Amino acid sequence: MGAGRSKSGFPRTETKSRHEQAISLFSAEELSEIKLVFQRICSTSGNSETEKTAFHEQDLKRYIAGRVPDKITSKLFSILCKNGESQSVSSEDFIIAVADLTKGMVEQQVHVLYTLVVEEDRTFTLSSFREVLHVFLGCYDAILRSTQVNWKAADTAAITVFVDMMMQDLQDGDIESAIDLCNWLLNKPLIQNILTDIMHYCLLIQHSAVKPCVFVFIGGSQCFLFTLSPSMAIFESSSINDHYMYLNMDQETLPNGLGMGGQFGYFGFWLDQDFGKGHSKSHPKCTTYDSPQLSATEQFTVDVLEVWAVGEIPKVNTEEDDDQSGSILDKNPEAKALLDIIGKERKSEGLREDPEADIPEVHQLPPL
C-alpha cells in the first residue's frame, strides 16, 4: 500500500500521514479555529447540542450558501471527502483540506482549482474555467466590500474584463491536466496569489484567524543568474516578482535547499539540501530572471560546486599577530576602570608575564 495518484495526476499519500503533516502546519490557536469552523458546518443541520464527527454535502451547502453556486459547492465537497471515496467529511479530512488551501504548495492548491473546473467527464474547458474565475472574483469583491472601508464595488462588466485579461494567453487545449494548470499559474504570480486568497476566504473559513503560510524570499533586483555554456549569458531581474533567493534547512513542511527565481518546485536554479542534486525548471522562461532552463536536463547532479564571495579578503590571524596583541589583562579596560572605581583589587594583576621573557615565570598567588 504505497502512495497512489489522484485523478489530477499529483501523488497522494495515505490519510494518516497527511493528517499528521497537516496538523504540524498549524499553531494551537489555528487548530482551535479550524475545529470551530468544522463544528459550525456540522451544526447547520440544526442539531448543535452534541459535537459531530462529520458533515455531509447539504451541511456544506447551507454553510456556504450565497457565496458560491451549488455546482461548485458539490465539487468542493467531493474534494473534501477524497473525490467521492466517502459520503461525509471527517475532522481529519477537513484539517487536511484547510492545510492544502491555506498553507500548501501550489500543487495542492491547483489540484483543488482544477477539480472545481473540470466537467463530469474530466475535461477542462476554458468556458468552465472562466465561469469559476468569475464566481470567485465576485465573492472576493463581496468580501473586500465588507472588510475594506474604502473599497469600491466592482460591477459584473469589470469582473468580466479582468477575467478576460487573466485568460488572454490561453487557447483551447492548452490545459489538459492539473499539471498544465500548475505550469500556467507559476508564470502568473499575481493571479496565483489572488486565487489563493479567494479559495482561502471564500470557500471554507471566510473570517478565520488561520493565515496563509508565507514563504520568505530574500535578495533584491541586483541578483542575477548566469550560464557559461554553450555561451556566456547573464539573466537579470525581470521585475515580475521578488523571488530572488530562497534558503531553508531541516524543515519538514518547506523545501530544504537553495533556490533562485521561480517558485517552489519550479526554481530557475535549485540546489537541494541533500547535496549533489538540483533542478532548473524554466519553461518557457523563469518568471523572476527571464532565464531559460540552465541545465541540459531539468533534474541534474552536481559535478563541481564553486562558492565565490565579493569583497575584501578577510584577514587571517597568525601566531605573530597573537604575539603583538598584548596581554589578555589589557583586553577590557572598561572593566578594569569599573573595578578601580568601586575599590576592588585585581588579583590577576600580579600574574602579568614579562613580554621579553622566552619562558613565562612561575608566579605565586598573593595571600588572600
pLDDT of residue 20 exceeding 60: yes
* pLDDT computed for residue 5 by the predictor: 44
* pLDDT computed for residue 269 by the predictor: 92
6 close to 108: Cβ distance less than 8 angstroms: no
Architecture label for domain 4-204:
Orthogonal Bundle (1.10)
Distance CA 307, CA 7 (A): 43
Distance CA 154, CA 139 (A): 11
* pLDDT computed for residue 215 by the predictor: 58
Q: In the predicted model, what is the mean pLDDT of residues 137-152? A: 72
Looking at the DSSP bridge assignments, the partners of residue 262 are: 267
Distance CA 358, CA 289 (A): 62
Distance CA 285, CA 22 (A): 32
Q: Where in the chain is the domain with CATH 1.10.238.10?
A: 4-204
* pLDDT computed for residue 329 by the predictor: 61
* pLDDT computed for residue 235 by the predictor: 92
| Per-residue pLDDT tens digits for 211-226 | 555 556 788 888 999 9
Q: Element (H or E) spanning 227, and its range? A: strand 224-227
Q: What is the residue whose three cell numbers read 475535461?
A: 123
Backbone φ, ψ for residue 95 (5° rounding): -60, -40
Residues 6 or more apart in contact with residue 330 via CB below 8 angstroms:
none
Which of the given ranges, 23-27, 84-88, 187-191, has the highest pLDDT on average? Answer: 23-27
